[in-house]
Amino acid sequence: MPGVPTSPITINGMPWDVYTKVLDGIFWNAARQTPTYIERCFNVQRVPRKKVEYRSFAGVPLASDWDPNGNPITSHVVNPRFKIELINTWYANAIDYTLEHKQFDQWQLMNEATAELGRSAARKKEYLGAAFLEGGFSAVWNTEEGKVLFAADHPLDPRVGGSYSNLVTGNLSVAKLQEAIALQESTPDDLGYPFGLQSRYLVVHKKKKMLAMEVLGQGIKYRTDAANYTPNVFEDWNITIVAHDWLTVSENAWFLFADRHGLVWNNVIDLNSHIFEDDRTHVTQRQVWFCCTRGARDWRGVLGSAGA
């Protein structure tokens, strides 16, 4: 058949079936070396089911009477609030190594394409995670509650009434971060009791990393927005800056994560890569895929600001 090599194909001195193993290594190295923010912004877990249901926890009332003898002991039913359904989604992509690539020993092109496919697969997850965060100002996180994820009026349990906020308005500054920390660390459970959160991560657009360092007083003991030698209260605060590469909607949006929060990332199928050979056309296709979902069990523990 014209155009079909009569001798075994070799790439960079190696038989093709051996060289595919080299390409495997290039793919996985590129995928693993891509910066990741999923673990910092979500509670990652493996869930071997297509659909997962969560119930947000409403809290346990304080005992009205305490008997020193332990009798009687007041009992309460675990009281769930909102039902959350997360349905997993498949994502897949592929590249072709053509006969021309193999005949003319275009190993460098194939290496670059394989590495880029690995980076693209890793970036897709980061894009999905960032899109969920940025969508929190406009997308309803739970249809039963009917509020966006970052809202000023999340309703508390009807037994106590009222509402609470995980939204701050305005660009990142010392004053706004103080407001955010005070709001987050005073977050109540659904019955109004202290939830006991501690602020831990400040997530910003990558272009705002220097501003975040300035606000937190990293390397600067004094506030840059106040009179000379005004101490920066955040100098020794245990808050880590996460300069997120995939926040794209607004450079001014920022997020504050506590030591506990309700954002979840469910992996059903981890990233996979497989080679498929077409003996008729001598085209080799590398297919990659994964299956996951992301969402929120609760709005507590993460606070957002869309900026100015």
**Which residues is 274 bridged to in the sheet?**
287
CB 151 within 8 A of CB 166: yes
For position 254, what pLDDT does the model report? 97
CB 41 within 8 A of CB 263: yes
Strands 263-278, 283-296: pairing is: antiparallel
Return the SS3 of 83: strand
- Kindly report the pTM of this predicted structure: 0.84
For position 78, what pLDDT does the model report? 63
Residues 6+ apart with CB under 8 A from 194: 186, 188
Q: How far apart are CA 185 and CA 207, in angstroms?
A: 27
For position 87, what pLDDT does the model report? 83
Phi-psi region of 185 (alpha: psi -120 to 50; beta: other; left: phi over 0): alpha
Query: Average pLDDT in the 243-263 region?
Result: 94
Supply the DSSP symbol for 209.
H
- pLDDT tens for residues 153-186? 999 988 888 999 999 999 999 899 999 999 999 9
Q: How far apart are CA 105 and CA 126, in angstroms?
A: 34
- pLDDT tens for residues 137-152? 999 998 888 999 999 9
- Token duo for residue 26: 């290039």
Domains in the chain: ranges and CATH: 10-305 (3.90.1690)
